[in-house]
Amino acid sequence: MNFYSLNKKAPNVSFKDAVIKGIAPDKGLYFPESITPLPQSFFEDIETLSNEEIAFTAIHQFVRTDIPDDELRKIIKNVLDFDFPVVEIEDNVATLELFHGPTMAFKDVGARFMAQCLGYFSESTSNEVTVLVATSGDTGGAVANGFLGVDGVKVVILYPSGKVSDIQERQLTTLGRNITALEVDGTFDDCQKMVKTAFLDDVLLQKMQLTSANSINVARWLPQLFYFLFAYKQLKAKGQELVFSVPSGNFGNICAGMVAQRLGMPVKHFVAATNVNDTVPEFMQTGEYNPKPSSATISNAMDVGDPSNFIRIRHLHNDDFEVLKANLSSYPFTDEETKKAMLHIYKTSQYIADPHGAVGYLGVQEYRKHHPETYGVFLETAHPVKFLDVVEETIGHTLELPPQIEKVMDREKKSIKIKQYEELKNYLIARQ
């Protein structure tokens, strides 16, 4: 299996090279040269398979030329050591909980999978890789935890000062060792722009091997398709058409769900639920893509004005707007609507949703207004405790801190403050 750049002006590369490069020389995102549907028997018998067996079968075609089967099984075993339960909230509406990993966010799976892959690849080379990543919240903690102590890999995380929650900040600034946090005076878009500029900087690239652990990296992005298969396994017996509503920021998660669909997973429709950063909802109405500066919200992981993975989604649908519209709806919601949804969910079911999950719930409800026969699944992408202040204030209930969070609360924050790209560049060169 090779991967090609969506800009189509760079050579095709192996999975290994796509992971190490992160982004193609022509600055395009890598995409698998083919997606072969899995045998129908896989879906017919999915209830009898373990999560590890499901994941191995689903990812195998994309990585088999670079990772031996026995090594892949080890990687998956190390990645999937927690649960992904579906919890019914009300009639024909459930949530898929993706926050039971070490940093209590859905990005734990992708970050750990990529870290394990890079660790395996580094065994055969003495070249050090620097992982450069921008975060709007949960990516930073998941990447920091996943890559902590991995030989041959240094990690530099950029995050917007004052625009991530206290717990999110602690998770990415307190680990030390091979993890460094750069606190940027700006927005997530400013952080992402710096990262993209670094990948365009020939002077920098001549001195070091850079890769990204954002969902633009195929090893971070593709494993997210596991979630949807795990949900299908749990809900198949219901016999209803499934609709997945995904709280969407950089659109990697929902795009991975669409890859699961291409593998043959039965699903009726996808909903990309966003906060007021409505670039994609607007596109789905007008057919015109107009990225804009991001706005800060209580669902900060979705504060993205120009989502990187949307080009992959368009490519999956042959850039045909009508074909895409038949498979994807997208709705934006305000902070006020999000808080009302959080309170409604808590009052009617005693379920505590975080702001991102609440946006996903609103997306399900909006779609089911016109498709009541469907079974809606919204993704709960982070534990509500990660947004402690807004959750407790909204529902009027005190949350207990899980062990994963408690252990970072007393650690000392260490970050380096920067404002401009040149400060990032100088820091990276000085570390060589």
pLDDT tens digits, 377-398: 999 999 999 899 999 999 999 9
Q: Write down the pLDDT at residue 150.
A: 87
Cα(231)–Cα(88) distance, rounded to whole angstroms? Answer: 12
Q: Write down the pLDDT at residue 125.
A: 67
Q: Average the pLDDT over 151-157 and give the result.
A: 90
Sign of CA dihedral 381, 382, 384, 387: negative
Instruction: Identify which of 245, 274, 23 has the alpha carbon closest to the alpha carbon of residue 134.
Output: 23
Q: Write down the pLDDT at residue 73.
A: 98
Is pLDDT above 90 for 200? Answer: no
Q: Write down the pLDDT at residue 176.
A: 86
414: left (phi over 0), alpha (psi -120 to 50) or beta: beta
Please classify residue 369 by burial: count the beta carbons closer than 10 Å to its beta carbon, then call 0-12 exposed, 13-18 middle and 19+ buried: exposed
Is pLDDT above 80 for 110? Answer: yes
DSSP codes of every residue in 145-204 = HHHTT-TTEEEEEEEETTSS-HHHHHHHHS--TTEEEEEESS-HHHHHHHHHHHHH-HHH
Is pLDDT above 90 for 360? Answer: yes
CA distances from 97 to 36, 135, 151, 383, 390 (A): 28, 21, 31, 8, 19
Greater confidence, 410 or 268? Answer: 268
Q: Average the pLDDT over 116-141 and give the result.
A: 83
Per-residue pLDDT tens over the stretch 112-123: 999 999 989 887
Residue-range domains of the chain with CATH: 83-102+221-399 (3.40.50.1100)
Per the listing, tokens 């949530």 go with 95
Per-residue pLDDT tens over the stretch 219-268: 999 999 999 999 999 999 999 999 999 999 999 999 999 999 999 999 99
Q: Write down the pLDDT at residue 136.
A: 77
Is pLDDT above 90 for 407? Answer: no
Q: Write down the pLDDT at residue 126.
A: 65
Per-residue pLDDT tens over the stretch 166-183: 888 998 899 888 999 999
Average pLDDT, the chain: 94
User: How many of the other CB atoms lie within 10 Å of CB of 270?
Assistant: 25
Instruction: Identify which of 269, 274, 228 has the alpha carbon closest to the alpha carbon of residue 248.
Output: 274
Is pLDDT above 80 for 92? Answer: yes
Q: Write down the pLDDT at residue 139.
A: 80
Confidence band, pLDDT 50/70/90 cuts, at residue 409: confident
Q: Average the pLDDT over 203-216 and give the result.
A: 88
Cα(252)–Cα(227) distance, rounded to whole angstroms? Answer: 12
Is pLDDT above 70 for 145? Answer: yes
Q: Average the pLDDT over 28-56 and give the result.
A: 97
Buried b (16+ CB within 10 A) or exposed e, 251-269: bbbbbbbbbbbbbebebbb
Share of the chain above pLDDT 90, in %: 77
**Three-class SS of residue 420?**
coil
Q: Angle of helix 225-235 relative to helix 252-262, nearest 10 degrees?
A: 60
User: How many of the other CB atoms lie within 10 Å of CB of 19?
Assistant: 26
Q: Average the pLDDT over 14-32 and give the result.
A: 93
Q: Write down the pLDDT at residue 410.
A: 83
The top-scoring range by mean pLDDT among 70-79, 139-148, 397-406 is 70-79
Greater confidence, 314 or 175? Answer: 314
